[in-house]
Amino acid sequence: MNMMLNKKALAVAIAAATLAACGGSNSNNDAAAEDGVAGAKVTRLATIPKGAELTGIEVSPNGEVFFNIQHPSDTLPNGEDKAAVGAWIGVDIQNLPTDLEPVSVPDPESVEAMTTRVATGRYQVLGREGATFAGGLPFGLGHIVSGDGNSSVKQSNNPDFNAFIATDEEGNNGYLFTAWEDRPGGMSRMELSKVDDEWFVNSAMNIDFSGVKGTMINCFGSVSPWGTPLTSEENYEAENTAHWNDSSYSGGYPSYGDVQKIQDYLGGTFPNPYDYGYIVEITNPTDAAPVPVKHFTLGRVAHENPIIMPDEKTVYLTDDGGHKGFYKFVADTAGDLSSGTMYAAKATQDDETDSSIAGFDLEWIALGTSTNATLEAAIDEYDDIDEGDFVADANSYITDQQINDWAESKLNQDLDGMNGIASSPFADDRVAFLETLKAAEALSATVEFNKMEGININYEGAKSGSIPYMYVGLTDITGAMTDDAGDIQVSGNPCGIMYRLPLEADFNVSRMDPVVAGGPYDSGATGSQCSDDNVSRPDNVYVLNDGRVLMGEDTSKHVNNMLWIYNPEGE
């Protein structure tokens, strides 16, 4: 089909989706179709307590949905002020009726606004922050325990990613891994069994990250095709490495105080910034002692989520925050992430500025090729740097000039107009993997994406071609995406947009288009500023077996965050 016709049809579908979402309080109205394109539909499946973010969407083989209640308001009654890891039970999400009656929006002052509500079945709390599970977690669920296991560094109330590793075909037994999004980060593992209509926690433990020097801000993630959880280190300061050993740096994420907490985790050793900001694979996940492996090869950024394609080589990676990139990694060997090539996307915007319609063509710029072993050796060169080495307006680590010189040698171009084409200061491609965003920018990739978060496919559908799409949520279309410079210049949408990316035969993607635009937005509203009848800031995404997509919210613009299902077929 002609590309212009494709874009026109897609624009109609997006408009239909917005009409369907906003057409009534149930978010359940079908929209009229034009040019043969069905009206898409979003339906509200759950609301969660005030102040909380809905995280960790994961579907068990039995069709039940795990999701978490992250950082609820500390004023909630009846224990609801504690973060929860839980399961939506009594539902088969893979066979959810398309005419399901949506859950209503609670009155902000009602009892319903203080708890978790689902459209059918019920929400079962498996554990709240601080739960010890009969001594299995001596410091309590969500406690970040020091590397030696002898003390708690802090109590987290930020459960994020869930990975369920089933140990039977039905999915009634298995291990639930939950990432704790803090500084330092952590991960718990519950051994679960399902009896009748209830989950039971048989045991619980924390994953020992001391062998990889701990983790930081463990955000969303995914499960590899070979059955290992992949947790993401969301290092917001990955491109601000110069601040790492600055004892006055109080506003960062992590701040200097957070760096000191990592130092506590390490038993007093000042941490190396290049040890944090990667994808961490939990190998041997069902063993008594799972083994974490940091994949330096997948770059150092504010990782939100990796998703591995059915070729077991191609990985797409989102970078959370403002002025960020979009990345692809291609492994040298299927099933092995320890060696390969890192790429960054260059976006070309359609001749359209309306963010609910404008899509982007993507090309991939190669940043560098390396291995975990080579990069680990490079990282170790920065081990002995600490606060005593800090100099204001300088950089104790890889400098911008070194990045420029590396890029000049790679492109064979004089980028800074000084002294011709420089030689690379390094004998390896460490810049591409340790200073990934700055490397991408130096090589002219697009670093204007804002709040690019959950990304996902339906694995079997992608493999067979029956669901040949990848979906990604951008929770806030503002900042560098909406200014008048660079590759991206679209209208703002603080309620966010979910995009669809067609998968090509080799699992490359060269196109992304908006399919669900949040809102409308009312900055003057005293309650929800984004319409309660539509998604706001879609974060977690999960693609079901029939192509429908679950979307969890990370928003302050709804009084209660919500779980939605998007139906591309409009049924």
- For position 317, which CATH number holds? 2.120.10.30
Strand partners, 478: none
Q: Is the peptide bond before 273 cis (omega within 30 degrees of 0)?
A: no
Residue 25: the pLDDT is: 34
Sheet strand arrangement including 326-333? 303-308, 314-319, 326-333, 336-349, 360-371, 511-517, 497-502, 469-474, 452-456
Amino acid at 87: A
Identify the CA nearest to 187 among candidates 212, 167, 161, 169: 161
Give CA 169 to chain center in angstroms: 28
Residue 571: the pLDDT is: 65
Judging by beta carbons within 10 Å of its beta carbon (0-12, 13-18, 19+), is residue 412 exposed, middle or buried? exposed
CA–CA separation, 340 and 240 (whole Å) = 25
Give the sign of the dihedral formed by CA 477, CA 483, CA 484, CA 485: negative
Residue 570: the pLDDT is: 84
Q: Kindly state the tokens that stand for 118.
A: 């689902």
DSSP E strand stretches across 207-325: 218-223, 229-233, 279-283, 291-295, 303-308, 314-319
Amino acid at 516: V
Full residue range of the structural domain in which residue 310 is found: 3-567
Residue 266: the pLDDT is: 98
CA–CA separation, 54 and 220 (whole Å) = 11
Residue 24: the pLDDT is: 33
Q: Is the CB of residue 181 less than 8 Å from the CB of residue 320?
A: no
CA–CA separation, 341 and 353 (whole Å) = 33
Q: Kindly state the tokens that stand for 535.
A: 């998604």
Distances (CA, A) of 360 to 224, 477, 488: 28, 14, 9
Cα distance from N-terminal residue to C-terminal residue, the chain: 24
CA atoms within 13 A on the CB side of 416: 15
Residue 40: the pLDDT is: 67
Distances (CA, A) of 206 to 180, 300, 544, 545: 10, 24, 29, 31
Greatest CA separation found in the chain?
73
Q: Which DSSP category does 483 fall into?
A: S
Q: How many CB atoms lie within 10 A of CB 464?
A: 11
3-class DSSP assignment, residue 93: helix
3-class DSSP assignment, residue 547: coil
Q: Is the CB of residue 466 less than 8 Å from the CB of residue 517?
A: no
pLDDT in tens, the chain (571 residues): 334 334 544 544 444 444 344 333 334 333 322 222 234 699 999 999 999 999 999 999 999 999 999 999 999 999 999 999 999 999 999 999 999 999 999 999 999 999 999 999 999 999 999 999 999 999 999 999 999 999 999 999 999 999 999 999 999 999 999 999 999 999 999 999 999 999 999 999 999 999 999 999 999 999 999 999 999 999 999 999 999 999 999 999 999 999 999 999 999 999 999 999 999 999 999 999 999 999 999 999 999 999 999 999 999 999 999 999 999 999 999 999 999 999 999 999 999 999 999 999 999 999 999 999 999 999 999 999 999 999 999 999 999 999 999 999 999 999 999 989 999 999 999 999 999 999 999 999 999 999 999 999 999 999 999 999 999 999 999 999 999 999 999 999 999 999 999 999 999 999 999 999 999 999 999 999 999 999 999 999 999 999 999 999 999 999 999 999 999 988 6
User: Could you give the number of structural domains in the chain?
Assistant: 1
CA–CA separation, 111 and 467 (whole Å) = 40
3-class DSSP assignment, residue 296: helix
Q: How many CB atoms lie within 10 A of CB 153?
A: 22
Identify the CA nearest to 436 among candidates 389, 489, 511, 370: 370
Give the sign of the dihedral formed by CA 212, CA 231, CA 287, CA 69: positive
Residue 9: the pLDDT is: 47
CA–CA separation, 194 and 191 (whole Å) = 11
Q: Is the CB of residue 570 less than 8 Å from the CB of residue 16?
A: yes
Q: Is the CB of residue 78 less than 8 Å from the CB of residue 92?
A: no
CA–CA separation, 198 and 192 (whole Å) = 10
